[in-house]
Structure 1
């Protein structure tokens, strides 16, 4: 379906529906990158003619006309997210598990107090408004699912990262640990035995924490927020119509999904816009190319230690290429002549420029997707979360080089840059991936509009739901059947041994009897 056909189809549906649907989009996490994806959903649906209300900590400056914002004022300051140094989260497996445990322990209360109990949200909850649909990020926000029945609406969730334990169970999607790595690990879909062992162990630990420690807390918050709910917490968790994933198989790996789990990776990517005059000139005049350096929205380059910052500066000073660095301070000591810094940069529009030859990134999902959409090779400096996995996949696919945070030095930075720029395979593989990523029957925006309206047209689209949703954990994994088979095998073995023993004793007694008769004779 091309863009024009999608628009025509959407307009026909809107005419039949009336004035478009009333949609509530909730982004309770307070993470900028997560909010960017949530805003992309909201803007896409508003531009398609729907009446969208957005609960967010990051209001959009120029929203569409039918895009209302309920701002979580003061939430970021109260939570301390705005002042956190995320470089402190850097570490290996143990650090990742500690971070995951911290999220399970600290996030439920923080999100409940910061968003659910926010005066602006309570005002909306106590109003007489009705919505046709609630769209909510699934990142540790299960109590918020209750807003769907509170407003008598259908429920769709989205994941700003990949499919995880948290999303898979919503639609009974399989997640085999043999080739689907836990998102907090740095493994790809091709693991050694030791990696599969660790992946299985971590996934099991996560499942125990999630089901026995985390979810009971979320259930308590759900019951506090929606004491008159018709559906129990468990029933509401099973009442999700659709799950959108911010990923695409060309950038991650092919996975098995039920029909109500949809990939829309790249949804946040807009059409290229004109750059500010100074940036346009800086890029246009870079005859030897440009390196773009950005550590994302949560990680701030200004928080690099002096030693690591100097390592980058010294390596940059020896390059013939120009460098653009998203750096949150107005000035930087010892800045070389070929470096331009800005506290904010239009990343997508910069990566679209033909003179950009390399992207130095932390390996976040958004930046990685945008870089590969425009066919740019990368140097990955992962810090925490899914960044390690994203960079590892990029390295395995041949369009990126890993630069470990602990190994940052002038020589390691220079070596990584020279490796990518001087070996054409990195740019070639990035362009090949870009071609594959762009080759789709529908754009991510068209997919969102189609499937959201499909759910609305079909009253929650129960026909999409897997029958596995009706099974218990033991039934889903056929543990009960395997147990019966094991009992049958044990019983058969016992009976067979008993029969063999009887036969043996009969034969033995017969031989003894014959032997005795011969001796007497």
Structure 2
């Protein structure tokens, strides 16, 4: 019996350990986006797969089975672009801005020397799987047709109507807010009106402005593949979408089978000890504890207006807690003794520390997930994109509060910090959310790896693809059926009105003749 089991094991084993060649495309300049996927890509290499990664943050030390194709051109004018994003824009202007930003990034990949020499020429290389960040880089999907390989998308901010369309997922606008709107799933009537209009404008901009430019680039760099497969078919043929989200982090909603929630993909379950100097500063806080303050990787604290920096410094100086502040300069004039600055902190390890009482954050999704994972209340100071939504979710869930960094006063800032630290319900809610989030059958990373290899084992796993992907817009939303039924109803109504009119006319005509005959007789 044992011999038969061993024979069966050896027969099955090659299916699971067969090495795959994987092309990963994550060329974006935001560090947090790549931080989210690096553990996933490295785990794939540790399982024997060979990963070629197009990215803006190449590994400092060689990693076995991991090849970088650096795309450093994306940093050109990046800081100016981030500053421009802070300027007020209507929804159409905002989408045009995003389109141009990602169009330039997409073009920079195709003009990259290594990409042009090793990946684009037909027959030059081969890959079994394409993994791409599904973020306005539709022309990248051409690599799937170019190498005749299945494609997996990763969305580092969760999902929206655009991600949903890649796999035909249902996305009701009544409770699914636009990421940039700052709404939650519990919208008022006017918020639903605003969400409907803004999403419609975004959809029109995507299809009328964004897609034609991506189509042109796809045909330019994949001339042979574009003759075989149109881009409109490629961006509806994903094998899998991995979402950096989880219902315990936001709100429950419907997903098709090939949308998998892996929120917190990057978080290690074993926090590392803090560096000695940092640990001593944290331990020296006593019972008062520590506040951790970071605005993420895109917004620099050193670039805050002087009056805002001064307000923050005075507030921190008036607090009994010690503060760890991610500050991108070596010096911070006026820094009080209870503040420790550094250009970089091991954020997950800090948030795991029991002495940390509060996380003051820009509200990025990775930071929000890390705060929930470690059960820390948050004070959100959002700047752009999904940060407003994440902070509003934290407020709605009860583990955080938000302030407008542009208008908050020193008094508001201090009172809000004191509330979050001293009022027990915030920390208790954060711990409850942490327990719910951690209560999963597999870790997010293990889940992502299992489903990735599932796609490889089943040659694209297209059996998970919903039939809605083969339907046009009108058929998918049953607009053709509604039009048909409405037409039938109008036809029946028209016929009924005609019959009634004809009957009335004939009856009136007959009555008129009878009346004339009676008059003549009299």
Does the alignment reach a TM-score above 0.5? Answer: yes
Q: Describe the superposition over 1:42-99 as per-residue Cα deviations: whole angstroms up to 9, x where unpaired.
A: 1231233322221111123346422222222x4144x311x3373553366x456533
Compare 170-179 and 149-158 and name the one that shifted more: 149-158
Match of 1:134 among 127, 130, 135: 130
Map 1:58-457 → 2, pairs under 5 A = 58-62=57-61, 64-72=63-71, 74-77=72-75, 79-81=76-78, 83-84=79-80, 86=82, 88-90=84-86, 94=89, 97-108=92-103, 110-125=104-119, 126=121, 128-229=124-225, 230-270=228-268, 271-287=270-286, 288-457=288-457
Number of the residue aligned with 2:5 = none
CA contact (8 A) 2:23 2:130 kept: yes
The alpha-carbon deviation at position 409 of structure 1 amounts to 2.6
Unpaired runs of 5+ residues, structure 1, are 1-9
Kindly indicate whether residue 28 of structure 2 is the aligned counterpart of residue 29 of structure 1: yes
Q: Secondary structure at the match of 1:214?
A: helix
- Mapped partners of 1:512, 1:286: distance in 2: 104
- Mapped partners of 2:188, 2:11: distance in 1: 52
Q: Describe the superposition over 1:158-181 as per-residue Cα deviations: whole angstroms up to 9, x where unpaired.
A: 111121233111111111111111
Unpaired runs of 5+ residues, structure 2, are 1-8
Q: Secondary structure at the match of 1:357?
A: strand
- Mapped partners of 2:333, 2:441: distance in 1: 49
Number of the residue aligned with 2:4 = none
Q: Describe the superposition over 1:345-367 as per-residue Cα deviations: whole angstroms up to 9, x where unpaired.
A: 00000000011111111110100
Number of the residue aligned with 1:463 = 463
Quote the RMSD (CA, aligned, Å).
2.1
Q: Alpha carbons of 1:192 and 1:95: their partners in 2 closer, same or farther (altered >3 Å)? A: same
- Mapped partners of 1:475, 1:46: distance in 2: 42
The alpha-carbon deviation at position 22 of structure 1 amounts to 1.5
Q: Secondary structure at the match of 1:184?
A: helix
- Mapped partners of 2:173, 2:11: distance in 1: 44
Q: Alpha carbons of 1:194 and 1:52: their partners in 2 closer, same or farther (altered >3 Å)? A: same
- Mapped partners of 1:369, 1:60: distance in 2: 24
The alpha-carbon deviation at position 513 of structure 1 amounts to 5.6
CA contact (8 A) 1:184 1:385 kept: yes
CA contact (8 A) 1:91 1:383 kept: no
Q: Describe the superposition over 1:482-521 as per-residue Cα deviations: whole angstroms up to 9, x where unpaired.
A: 1111111111111111222233334545655666666655
CA contact (8 A) 2:240 2:258 kept: yes
Compare 396-405 and 38-47 and name the one that shifted more: 38-47
Q: Alpha carbons of 1:60 and 1:409: their partners in 2 closer, same or farther (altered >3 Å)? A: farther
Q: Describe the superposition over 1:333-352 as per-residue Cα deviations: whole angstroms up to 9, x where unpaired.
A: 11111110100000000000
Compare 174-183 and 49-58 and name the one that shifted more: 49-58
CA contact (8 A) 1:188 1:392 kept: yes
- Mapped partners of 2:92, 2:46: distance in 1: 40
- Mapped partners of 1:389, 1:405: distance in 2: 15
The alpha-carbon deviation at position 405 of structure 1 amounts to 2.1
The alpha-carbon deviation at position 236 of structure 1 amounts to 2.1
Compare 347-356 and 408-417 and name the one that shifted more: 408-417
- Mapped partners of 1:399, 1:329: distance in 2: 31
Q: Alpha carbons of 1:63 and 1:11: their partners in 2 closer, same or farther (altered >3 Å)? A: farther
- Give the TM-score of the pair, scaled to structure 2: 0.92
- Give the TM-score of the pair, scaled to structure 1: 0.92
Q: Alpha carbons of 1:114 and 1:101: their partners in 2 closer, same or farther (altered >3 Å)? A: same
Q: Secondary structure at the match of 1:406?
A: coil
Q: Secondary structure at the match of 1:405?
A: coil
- Mapped partners of 2:441, 2:10: distance in 1: 20
Q: Secondary structure at the match of 2:67?
A: strand
